[in-house]
Copies of this chain bind each other. A is one copy, B any other.
Amino acid sequence: MSGRLCYFQAMRSENSPSGRKRASFIEEARRAQIIESAIDTFAELGYANTSLARVAERAGISKSVISYHFAGKTELTEQIVEQVYSDIAQFVLPRTEKEATSTRALRANIRAVAEYMRGHRTQLLALGEIFNNSRTAEGKRRFGVAYSEPVYEAREALFRSGQQAGEFRREFDPRVMSVAVQSAIDGMFAYWVTYPDHDLEAHADDLADLFEHATRTGHPRGEADR
């Protein structure tokens, strides 16, 4: 997930066909098959070892079928990102937004993401590979800042409103806290991937506690020291 998971933003485009022309049933099926195959390959072999040839091989189709359905490797990866994004957003957002307080929303959000992870390990692994590695010809990251900002801003808003409501202490920077939450979630995922028997749910709850303690009003002893 790579610290740049942006399910908030993705919400917007989930229902629009994003500029693509109407596609036939068989077209969509093939595209889905290829995307799935690509996701599996990215997840298993890593970005650098994922070639279109290997994706085709896994899908049991000819290399050029991919070229026929996608303009190139770039479009394929973009489609993967788009799809995974809207998928996450559709799952996480409703579960987050129904909560009344900021504290509860934060906990619900962390839990929802963890729940999603369990069912979409491969998808998220692939997304991470793409985010970390996809670059333009000039060497710049293809999925850069633009993809991170909306998530940070959404969480920032959550923390800010919690601070204004008096739920959260005012000393922390909402942006920093936002980055920390995202990082902790990413870290949880990476840890679970490494140790598949790890209890994801318990981890998520611990994380929720952690950030509840970290954000709630009250002064830690150490704060005066520095």
Q: Mark A89-127, 1 if CB is under 8 A from B, else 0.
A: 000000000000001100100000000000000000000
A3 touches B214 (CB 8 A): no
- Assuming the A-B contacts A180-B207, A186-B3, A218-B213, are A132 and B132 also in contact, with contact meaning beta carbons closer than 8 angstroms in the complex? yes
B223 touches A212 (CB 8 A): yes
- Assuming the A-B contacts A132-B132, A173-B202, A194-B145, are A180 and B210 also in contact, with contact meaning beta carbons closer than 8 angstroms in the complex? yes
A211 within 8 A of B: yes
- Assuming the A-B contacts A107-B222, A226-B107, are A210 and B214 also in contact, with contact meaning beta carbons closer than 8 angstroms in the complex? yes
Contact residues, A169-224 vs B (CB, 8 A)? 169, 171-173, 176-177, 179-180, 182-184, 186-188, 190-191, 194, 202-203, 205-216, 218, 220-223
CB distance from A46 to the nearest CB of B (A): 5
B139 touches A194 (CB 8 A): no
| Chief secondary structure at chain A's binding surface | helix
Give complex CA distance A171, B107 in Å.
Answer: 16
A179 touches B188 (CB 8 A): yes
- A139's closest neighbor in chain B, by CB? B45
B132 touches A49 (CB 8 A): no
Q: Which residues of A contact B (CB under 8 A)?
A: 3, 44-49, 103-104, 107, 132-133, 135, 139, 141, 144-145, 148, 169, 171-173, 176-177, 179-180, 182-184, 186-188, 190-191, 194, 202-203, 205-216, 218, 220-223, 225-226
Show 5 A/B contacts (Cβ-Cβ < 8 Å), sorted by A: A132-B132, A171-B209, A183-B183, A183-B184, A209-B220
